[in-house]
């Protein structure tokens, strides 16, 4: 293997955080390389449907957003990171708009929904394919820049050299002054090992986290994996699909076998997932046709006008499977979804190893041990931008 040309910044990962970091580093004047495990399009971020949080409501503020994050984390998040996340959220939205993301609007402003764990309406959406819209716009920005990409080049080794780091990515040896790790979490592998369903892309297997730990990076909360409360349970084509939590934002509620509500359907993710597990264990759940546990999601409560604007993709998918969510209850059960913990980072996304940065799901602290919905795409954007800028400045 011949060494590739040297870069100022190497970004590992092509999800929202890696793309944001690469664009940010490039705009900061760095020569940037971006290595992806598979194609540039392959990532969990593109599958994110619900939306992205930012305090735009007249009754809202970054401080209130931060308090909601803190409470949803059960007071385990890093307050410094939370305050950066929420204070920079409105600016991150405008930055995404500048690269081409068009958020759903109504009445002259953003269409905002209240999501689980939130005390205000602050969830912005692009229909129910927000992650797809964000990653496509950022990928277009990467492809229009001087950033050199290395698809199908998974990181397999990272070692310090005199002038930075040497990375082995697929068939390439890449030297860079600084490295941004944005390779996501490990929930696909965990689900396979547990015999469970997952929302995750097959590339989410966690090797890069371990590579970073092996070169000395500290981690936190790696045991705190999150279940998405509303995984699709039936029909088979929907198993593992993450039913957008905006279904509950627009009126759907969870019901047991007796068609009774048993929890606050807009509670934090871990609380709602636990309530479903407990209801099924108590014998008040239902079974899918293939014998899987489930409860009902009362989607017919959603006004058709809201569903057509904010849930079109979900409607298409279920109707293709012979189920109309606006006419009948759908079956749901929690599925493995997100790695809450990860590498310890500072305010600039730098890990505890100098010159190695981390952003997105591979980084820990911003969400503590439980993440609110709508904050993953936000974290990817806010800390991806910070990581790229800081990595470029250190490489200069």
DSSP code for 301: G
Q: What is the rounded distance in angstroms from the CA atom of residue 357 to the CA atom of residue 212?
A: 10
Say how many Å lie between the first and final Cα of the chain, rounded. Answer: 27
CB 182 within 8 A of CB 17: yes
Nearest to 272 by CA among 286, 285, 253, 259: 253
| CA 85 – CA 366 distance, rounded (Å) | 8
What residues are paired with 227 via a beta bridge? 336
Distance between CA atoms of residues 99 and 173, nearest Å: 31
Q: Check if the beta carbon of residue 173 is closer than 8 Å to that of residue 166.
A: yes
Q: CB neighbours (10 Å) of residue 194?
A: 12
- Active-site residue (options: 31, 248, 269, 385): 269
Omega before residue 333 within 30° of 0, cis = no
In angstroms, what is the C-alpha Rg of the chain? 20
Q: Parallel, antiparallel, or unpaired for β 32-35 and 148-150? A: parallel
Closest CA to 391 of 40, 13, 23: 23
d(CA 289, CA 219): 41
Name the helix (H) or strand (E) containing 353.
none
Backbone angles phi, psi at 102, to 5 degrees: -115, 100
269 tagged catalytic: yes
Alpha carbon distance 219, 207 (integer Å): 14
Give the phi and the psi of residue 114 in degrees, each rounded to 5: -95, 130
* Residues involved in catalysis: 269
């Amino acid at each position: 293997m011949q060494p590739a040309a040297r870069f100022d910044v190497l970004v590992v990962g092509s999800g929202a955080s890696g793309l944001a970091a690469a664009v940010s580093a490039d705009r900061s004047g760095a020569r940037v390389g971006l290595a992806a495990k598979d194609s540039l399009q392959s990532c969990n971020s593109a599958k994110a449907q619900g939306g992205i949080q930012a305090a735009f409501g007249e009754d809202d503020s970054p401080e209130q957003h931060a308090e909601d994050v803190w409470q949803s984390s059960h007071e385990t998040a890093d307050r410094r990171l939370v305050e950066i996340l929420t204070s920079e959220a409105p600016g991150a939205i405008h930055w995404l708009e500048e690269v081409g993301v068009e958020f759903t609007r109504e009445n002259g402003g953003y269409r905002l929904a209240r999501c689980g764990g939130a005390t205000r309406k602050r969830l912005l959406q692009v229909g129910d394919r927000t992650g797809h819209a964000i990653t496509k716009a950022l990928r277009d920005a990467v492809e229009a820049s001087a950033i050199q990409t290395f698809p199908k080049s998974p990181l397999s080794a990272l070692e310090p050299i005199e002038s930075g780091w040497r990375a082995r990515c697929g068939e390439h040896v890449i030297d860079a002054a600084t490295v941004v790790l944005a390779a996501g979490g490990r929930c696909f592998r965990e689900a396979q090992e547990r015999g469970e369903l997952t929302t995750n892309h097959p590339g989410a297997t966690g090797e890069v986290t371990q590579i970073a730990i092996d070169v000395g990076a500290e981690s936190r909360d790696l045991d705190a994996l999150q279940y998405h409360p509303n995984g699709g349970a039936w029909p088979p084509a929907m198993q593992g699909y993450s039913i957008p939590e905006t279904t509950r934002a627009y009126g759907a509620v969870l019901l047991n076998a007796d068609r009774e509500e048993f929890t606050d359907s807009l509670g934090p993710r871990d609380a709602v997932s636990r309530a479903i597990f407990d209801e099924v264990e108590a014998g008040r759940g239902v079974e899918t046709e293939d014998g899987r546990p489930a409860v009902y999601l009362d989607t017919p409560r959603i006004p058709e006008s809201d569903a057509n604007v904010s849930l079109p993709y979900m409607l298409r998918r279920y109707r293709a499977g012979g189920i109309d969510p606006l006419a009948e209850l759908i079956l749901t059960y929690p599925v493995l979804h997100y790695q809450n913990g990860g590498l310890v980072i500072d305010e600039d996304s730098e890990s505890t190893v100098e010159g190695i940065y981390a952003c997105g799901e591979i980084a820990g602290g911003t969400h503590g041990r439980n993440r609110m919905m709508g904050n993953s795409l936000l974290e990817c954007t806010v800390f991806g931008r910070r990581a790229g800028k800081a990595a470029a400045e250190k490489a200069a």
